Structure 1
Amino acid sequence: MNGMKTAMLLSALTALFMALGYTLGGSGGAAIALLVAAGMNLFTFWNADRIVLSMHNAREVDAQSAPEFYTLVAELARRAGLPMPRVYLIDQPHPNAFATGRDPDHAAVAATTGLLSMLSRDEVAGVMAHELGHVRNRDTLIMTMVATIAGAISMLANFGLFFRGGNQENGHGNIAATLLAVIVAPFAAMIVQMAISRTREYGADRAGAEISGNPRALASALAKISGRAETIPNPVAERNPAAAQLYIVPVHVSELFSTHPATEKRIAALEEMAGGAPLPRRASALSPAASSAAPKGRKSSALDPLRRD
């Protein structure tokens, strides 16, 4: 059902792009918009991971450069029954994480240094399990495609404002086209984007809790990073707001216009999954041996890539 709903919403987003092209250029504009949408989707299919990772200046790490973080992701991927994804770090204080790639065989997961330094080891496991949940549910390609088309609609709308603004031959038509381009189309694209993203976030939370075996750790991580993510600047999201749906928590505060469900509702759903009794320690994706192997004396996360004392 979720797959059919997503396909319908993605089709609606493409149709909206065509409608905007028709408004600005007639039937020829609609045809061009359709070709552009098809070209963008094809390009995104093959290059989604590179687009997103380069946008964030992410650097790939391995068992030598980030042994604790890499080993953690490897253990979670094994528990999820997934191929080992490529692992990236983003040198940014903004606490967040995301997954990308066209399918599980070409997936990548990334986390900011701000997130790793803020959370405990179990909480980081919950966050990365959530991202692997997106990979297992095959959300990553869809979310990147949606972000690409929504961003293109906003760009086309801005172009339409200047294009139509300079044409005064038909005043009424110019006003209608301008209103459609500047207000209606981007707003409708945002609504469709939110509908797709919110459905996928609940599913990834559920999958992440199952993979990590610790719903409360993911709930605790969401509670910690949601407030900080809204106050610490995120340059990528400021340049391209459509990228906000890729993150585990939203960048903006308003629930009405957020690409994510309210964090409080997500935490409540995870607490319900955990039940009333505390979960056993070994339910975590992290073995006691792995936890005890972490260097002592850290004031922040055991996965802090900066290795601060």
Structure 2
Amino acid sequence: MLVPMSLLAAVYGAVLAGLVLVGVPVLWVVLGAAAILLVQWLSTELLARRMTKARFVTADEEPELHAVLDRLCALSDVPKPRLAISPSPAPNAYTVGRSRRSATIIVTTGLRARLDPDELTAVLAHEIAHIRHSDVAVMTVASSFAIALAAFAKGTGRVAVEAPGLLLEEFPYGLLIGLAVLAGGGLAGLVSFLAHLPLRWLGRARELAADRAAADLLGQPGLLASALLKVHEDEGIPLQDLRRGVPALGLVASRTRKGRLMATHPHVHVRVRRLVG
């Protein structure tokens, strides 16, 4: 984790230093950074549930899943997370939240239909490992500024496309201000892209660590390997990532054409080889 976290800190530090150098008061920079962290910290779990349309389920509604979580949490010595079910047909599971004591595991109906009970237990062990390692808190904090920069870049681009007349108001000053904002948006997009490189690296490392922890916890690495292969055996994984803009740690990633550097998860064959090799 040291190398990607160091690179990420360097990118964020350069952004904050740049804001100060262009004349933004230090207090405003500090308050803005704190506000971004606070919003991300408090909203990530709610946003993830809304995006996946997940609802909380009680032990009376899902006794088997809750029983599995009880056993895994006892073995891992972590507080039991909330359990939510998403109606998505895409086979996946997500861990979201702020800390060990404030975490939610979301399981899709597609995953439950695809896996047998033992394989589903292995998947839940993988998600419990994310909670035990505090991966949710780490990724929430680490991704906050990258997500905010991407949102700013997208917002300025949308204004330029949907309301180009705003750039010509009070010519030439309006045009100059508009161009400055667009330049800032472009720079924010570039920095967000650079920040996502170590973020994705960090995410891939945490997925491999959760795989190993789940295998060690159950003593049956083949179960998680079987679950991963079943999930990837066809085109059931959507192109759209439901976690977009939300630091949720999922079992598998959406299919992507962005290349390995921007992949949120290691390739399934790498994961399986490490589990059973």
Question: How does the TM-score come out when normalised to structure 2?
Answer: 0.80
Report the equivalent of 1:198: 204
- Equivalent pair of 2:90/2:111 in contact (CA under 8 Å): yes
Q: 1:144 to 1:46 in 2, by over 3 A?
A: same
Structure 2 counterpart of 1:213, which letter? G
Report the equivalent of 2:268: 263
The answer to whether the aligner puts 1:55 opposite 2:64 as a matched pair is: no
- Equivalent pair of 1:226/1:250 in contact (CA under 8 Å): no
Structure 2 counterpart of 1:110, which letter? I
Q: 1:113 to 1:216 in 2, by over 3 A?
A: same
Report the equivalent of 2:130: 134
- Equivalent pair of 2:197/2:261 in contact (CA under 8 Å): no
Report the equivalent of 2:194: 188
The answer to whether the aligner puts 1:158 opposite 2:181 as a matched pair is: no
Alignment RMSD, CA only? Answer: 3.2
- Equivalent pair of 1:230/1:252 in contact (CA under 8 Å): no
The answer to whether the aligner puts 1:112 opposite 2:117 as a matched pair is: no
- Return the alpha-carbon distance in structure 1 between the equivalents of residues 96 and 145 of structure 2: 16
Q: 1:271 to 1:159 in 2, by over 3 A?
A: same
Consecutive unaligned residues in structure 2, runs of 5 or more: 168-173
- Equivalent pair of 1:90/1:112 in contact (CA under 8 Å): yes
The answer to whether the aligner puts 1:246 opposite 2:253 as a matched pair is: no
User: When the two structures are aligned, how many residues end up with a matched partner?
Assistant: 264
Question: How does the TM-score come out when normalised to structure 1?
Answer: 0.73
- Return the alpha-carbon distance in structure 1 between the equivalents of residues 81 and 59 of structure 2: 13
Report the equivalent of 2:68: 72
Output one character per residue of 1:36-72: Cα deviation in whole Å (capped at 9) or x when no partner.
2222223433454334333323211122101111111
- SS at the partner of 2:242? helix
State, as a whole percentage, how many aligned pairs show the same letter.
29
Aligned pairs for 1:1-309 (under 5 A) are: 2=1, 4-5=2-3, 7-12=5-10, 14-15=12-13, 17-18=15-16, 26-28=22-24, 32-161=28-157, 162=159, 166=167, 168-169=175-176, 177=184, 179-182=186-189, 184-228=190-234, 231-232=237-238, 234=240, 236-237=242-243, 240=244, 242-243=245-246, 246-253=249-256, 254-272=259-277
Output one character per residue of 1:167-191: Cα deviation in whole Å (capped at 9) or x when no partner.
6449997886565234x22321221
- SS at the partner of 2:24? helix
- Equivalent pair of 2:91/2:237 in contact (CA under 8 Å): no
CA shift at 1:8, angstroms?
A: 3.0
Structure 1 counterpart of 2:201, which letter? A
